[in-house]
Amino acid sequence: MVKFEIHNLNIWFGSVHAIKQVNMEIQSNEILSVIGPASSGKTTFLRALNRLNDLNTNYKMTGALELEREDICAVDIEVLRRKIGMVFALPLPLPLSVFDNVAYGARMHGERNKRLLGQRVEDALRQAYLWEEVKDRLNESAFKLSGGQQQRLCIARTLAVGPEVMLFDEPCSGLDPISTAKVEDAMLKLKEKYTIVLVTNNVKQAARVADRTAFFLTGELIEIDKTDKIFTAPKDRRTDGYIRGKFG
């Protein structure tokens, strides 16, 4: 089933044309990885999906972004962002306790019931493979967790809001290989329930976890296909070059 449809997407920041004429679909319950060299527009693309680019005052967008056939610019922005969660490049816990971090989104949406909140927090932490490690430290500051734990906390925090789509913006760029493996495990498990878009600098990571892979270069979508196809028989010479590490 098609989750996202993107038609003729163009994005400008001031006079910089960051995304050029992108057309693609994102399927439900897949992991779509977005790869490309620095400033190829992959993060901008990702942030367009939950309208986080709107924060930028000189941002301009044309084209259509549809979530289940509904224009995302017509939806209430807070409802949209609840449906489309985001995990950032660096672990960014809020300056709150572990529990309050995970409960934050739900609380902001008006959940007051202590028992339900507790349940939600526990579920989310379990899904992010973090519960066992932090169940005795829920009231500690989130900054006391290790980097890998913090990043899984951020995943749990996003899950606790009850999203349909999860956006990952280079989620392992600050992590060691073991923590990275744990985050990747979590992602593979999560795709049973969620649609995942993963922006990554790490081509190998895309090969390990993604069902399909999209290659961006200077704001253009060069090619999108099944991951094994992209990695074994790319159609475009530039995709091949990037994957083989000729540039980027």
Interacting residue ranges for other proteins, rule: CB under 8 A: 50, 52, 55, 57, 78-79, 81-82, 85-86, 88, 90, 92, 94-95, 104-105, 108-110, 141, 143, 154, 157-158, 161
- Dist. CA 124–CA 157, nearest whole Å: 7
**Residue number, 42 or 212, with CB nearest to other proteins:** 42
**Residue number, 14 or 244, with CB nearest to other proteins:** 14
Nearest distance from C-beta of residue 91 to other proteins, angstroms: 10
Residue whose tokens read 């790319």 = 234
Q: Which residues contact 163 (CB under 8 A, 6 or more apart)?
A: 82, 83, 84, 85, 194
Q: Kindly give the residue spans of alpha helices, DSSP state H, lying in 144-201.
A: 147-159, 177-190
- Dist. CA 184–CA 17, nearest whole Å: 32
Nearest distance from C-beta of residue 223 to other proteins, angstroms: 29
Residue 62 CB-density burial (10 A; 0-12 exposed, 13-18 middle, 19+ buried): exposed
Nearest distance from C-beta of residue 104 to other proteins, angstroms: 6
**Residue number, 11 or 86, with CB nearest to other proteins:** 86
Nearest distance from C-beta of residue 224 to other proteins, angstroms: 25
- Dist. CA 92–CA 94, nearest whole Å: 6
**Residue number, 78 or 192, with CB nearest to other proteins:** 78
Nearest distance from C-beta of residue 191 to other proteins, angstroms: 20
Give CA torsion, residues 121, 165, 212, 9, to 10 deg.
-150
Nearest distance from C-beta of residue 77 to other proteins, angstroms: 9
Nearest distance from C-beta of residue 10 to other proteins, angstroms: 23
**Residue number, 57 or 139, with CB nearest to other proteins:** 57
Q: What is the DSSP string of 4-37?
A: EEEEEEEEEETTEEEEEEEEEEEETT-EEEEE-S
93: Cα separation from own chain's centroid: 16
- Dist. CA 50–CA 113, nearest whole Å: 28
**Residue number, 100 or 223, with CB nearest to other proteins:** 100
**Residue number, 53 or 239, with CB nearest to other proteins:** 53
